[in-house]
Amino acid sequence: MPIVSLKEIVDRAFQERYGVPAVNVFNDLTMQGVLDAAVEVRSPIIVQTSVKTVRSIGTKVLFSMWQSMTADIEVPVALHLDHCPDRDVISECLAIGWNSVLFDASALPVAENQRQTIEVVKEARGYGAHVEGEIESITGVEDGVGSDQTAARQTLDVSLAFIEATGVDVFAPSIGNAHGVYTSKPTLDFDRVSDLVAAHPLPIALHGGSGMTDAQFHDLIQRGCSKVNISTALKMTYLQSTLANLRLAEQADKWDPPTLFRAVSGDVVDLTRGLARTFGSAGKAW
């Protein structure tokens, strides 16, 4: 199965009402673990990279990793640049091979956000790539992007006008979700997703998925959330697994990095496998 477009992945999920895990990776181990899990459970997968990861590893090295790991991939996969407010980074990633981007201009006035998003969509189309858009900041800071201040929500009419004017392929509304770790069960505006989809049938991106309940996921996916973002959960799994296995190494006084890598990779695979099953994408590869 060759690499496919974000649009093809989320459009199928939207039509059949399942969610596709969109997982933010940050090194070779997490990228390989996420892909391995997708192959194991026959799930489409969206591999996401933050601007911070792109800058720390470099676009050429990161994309070479992607090419190597997906050369003979057996499930539909897409490479997505997450929450990027920097037009230069978007241009660089599109030029080298990312096939979708989230242009995050939510800090700008809606009119300016819309104007620039139209430009980004036009640029992406030149590469055969697709675009996710948003007009409201998702509460919380993710890899240096965002704010802990709760952003004002726009009206349904403003959101629909943005979607129609820009031609974005996926839309990410604020529904009470947040990046980072929830301190209590989030109170979500489920009807906002339903209202958007009823007025303009378009795949919805659910941000801040780490920490939501299975029941919340299932409800939102049935309403049209086809792309489900997971970042914090993978970071926690990776670091907690690393810490636990380093403590075991210390106790045994055996310092073997490949043993650590295998253990952490196994936990990354377990997490991703579970996400695919929870979101209903397991077995949906084509």
> Do 208 and 231 form a contact (C-beta atoms < 8 A)?
no
Please report where in the chains the tokens 């640049």 appear, as a residue. Answer: 81
CA distance 175 to 275: 21
String of b and e for 167-203 (b: at least 16 CB within 10 Å)?
ebbbbbbbbebbbbeeeeebebeeebbbbbbeeeebb
| DSSP element (H, E) containing 31 | helix 28-41
Closest C-alpha among 189, 183, 272, 182 to residue 225: 189
Catalytic residues: 82
CA distance 182 to 255: 35
